[in-house]
């Protein structure tokens, strides 16, 4: 009986240690820095290596859904729908994330990314080099 209880305890610990990240499968509205209006809907997906990526599911700004003209690689001149804008984001403990990159489809550039989950808000900071040289964005959880 003791062996069964021990085996079940170890199994439960293993399952809990590999539980999906709180961002995995969540859907967010990106917010324009200037107009403060929603721009796109993105969805986070946990990758096999444990990092997170996020892809555009829907573009909410009329006239901007057509293409990613300044994007490089496979997204060049493709529709923004389906473009992966966040890659490599890692949970570094609790609700904090770091180590990712974010693509700005307007200029085609990628930036380092860190963030923090705070209830229905995802506070992100994209930057070059050091975090002080960047900008903040807050995304709102989509219902």
pLDDT digits (tens, 9 = 90+) for 25-80: 999 999 988 888 999 999 999 999 999 999 999 999 887 777 777 777 777 777 88
Residue 13 has pLDDT above 50, yes or no: no
Sequence-distant (≥ 6) Cβ neighbours of residue 26 within 8 angstroms = 43, 44, 141
Length of the chain: 143
Which residues pair with residue 96 across a beta bridge?
93, 116
Residue 11 has pLDDT above 60, yes or no: no
Question: Right CATH number for 20-141 from 2.40.128.520, 3.40.1030.10, 3.20.20.10, 1.10.760.10?
Answer: 2.40.128.520
The count of other CB atoms within 10 Å of the CB of residue 80 is: 21
pLDDT digits (tens, 9 = 90+) for 92-112: 999 999 999 999 888 888 999
Start-to-end Cα distance in the chain: 46
């Amino acid at each position: 009986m003791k062996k069964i209880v021990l085996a079940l305890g170890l199994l439960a610990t293993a399952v809990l240690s590999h539980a999906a990240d709180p961002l995995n499968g969540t859907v967010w509205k990106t917010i324009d820095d200037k107009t403060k209006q929603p721009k796109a809907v993105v969805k986070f997906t946990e990758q096999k290596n444990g990092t997170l990526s996020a892809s555009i599911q829907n573009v909410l700004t009329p006239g901007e859904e057509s293409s990613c003209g300044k994007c490089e690689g496979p997204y060049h001149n493709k529709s923004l729908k389906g473009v992966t804008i966040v890659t490599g984001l890692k949970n570094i403990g609790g609700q904090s994330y770091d180590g990712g990159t974010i693509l700005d489809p307007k200029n085609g550039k990628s930036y380092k990314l860190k963030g923090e989950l705070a209830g229905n808000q995802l506070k992100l900071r994209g930057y070059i080099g050091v975090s002080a040289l960047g900008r903040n964005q807050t995304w709102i959880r989509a219902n």
